[in-house]
């Protein structure tokens, strides 16, 4: 049975167990301080006088990209990487207001929790100058046995995700570095002949 708790409930549970004298372990996947609300939980508990120790993890962006052979930065191709969230704190439908500044062809974008807002983000990135042919990948349940991956150009990524039926959690990587993956689709012999003609 899967139980979903809101962040306020999680805070209260952590506090009640800690106040009862228990040693509490809040286990999270990846890096708890990158879109994992670890900072909020830590701040809340420290304000209540509870001592907190964070054990670092590897964020999904690094783990998934490395497994797929996608260097998040690469000399001459991507000089920076930006981590974006696909959801606003208040649950808004389009928090991706950063698209204007994120449409940098020399950067890699990694979008956490952005499956539902990807169509809007892709359109905004293209409108602000990112090439529609920018390589991209969407990875469902990355680094697990259930991992499913979609590679496509930015303009086609949303449609391909829908046709395959990816679900959350899905990480999205956008940038020229995606094409460096050994899993990036190579053109067929027929396509290569057409490109040379």
68 in Cβ contact with 149 (< 8 Å):
yes
- Full set of structural domains in the chain with CATH: 7-47 (no CATH), 60-180 (3.30.950.10)
CA angle 61–64–70, rounded 5-degree value: 90
Q: What's the sign of the alpha-carbon dihedral 38, 101, 61, 160?
A: positive
Q: What is the pLDDT along the chain (197 residues), one digit of tens a residue?
A: 445 567 788 888 888 888 888 888 887 778 887 887 788 888 998 999 999 998 888 899 999 999 999 999 999 999 999 999 887 655 554 556 677 778 899 999 999 988 988 998 999 999 999 999 999 999 999 999 999 999 999 999 999 999 999 999 999 999 999 999 999 987 654 444 343 44
Cα distance between the two ends of the chain: 57
82 in Cβ contact with 109 (< 8 Å):
yes
What global pTM score does this model have? 0.82
Give φ, ψ of 59 to 5 degrees.
Answer: -65, 155
Burial 158-180 (b: 16+ CB within 10 A, else e): beebeeeebeeebbbbbbbbbbb
Number of other CB atoms surrounding residue 79 within 10 Å: 12
């Amino acid at each position: 049975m899967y139980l979903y708790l809101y962040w306020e409930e999680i805070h209260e549970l952590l506090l009640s167990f800690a106040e009862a004298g228990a040693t509490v372990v809040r286990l999270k996947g990846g890096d708890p301080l990158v879109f994992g609300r670890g900072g909020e939980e830590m701040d809340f508990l420290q304000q209540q006088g509870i001592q907190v120790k964070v054990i670092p993890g590897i964020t999904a962006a690094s783990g998934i990209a490395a497994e797929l052979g996608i260097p998040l930065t690469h000399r001459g191709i991507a000089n920076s990487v930006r981590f974006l969230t696909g959801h606003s704190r208040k649950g808004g439908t389009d928090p991706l207001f950063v698209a204007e500044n994120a449409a940098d062809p020399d950067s890699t974008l990694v979008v956490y929790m952005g499956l539902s807002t990807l169509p809007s983000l892709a359109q905004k990135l293209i409108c602000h100058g990112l090439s529609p042919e920018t390589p991209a990948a969407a990875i469902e349940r990355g680094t697990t046995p259930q991992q499913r991956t979609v590679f496509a150009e930015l303009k086609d990524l949303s449609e391909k995700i829908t046709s395959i039926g990816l679900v959350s959690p899905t990480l999205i990587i956008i940038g020229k570095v995606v094409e460096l993956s050994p899993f990036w689709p190579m053109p067929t012999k027929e396509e290569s002949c057409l490109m040379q003609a």
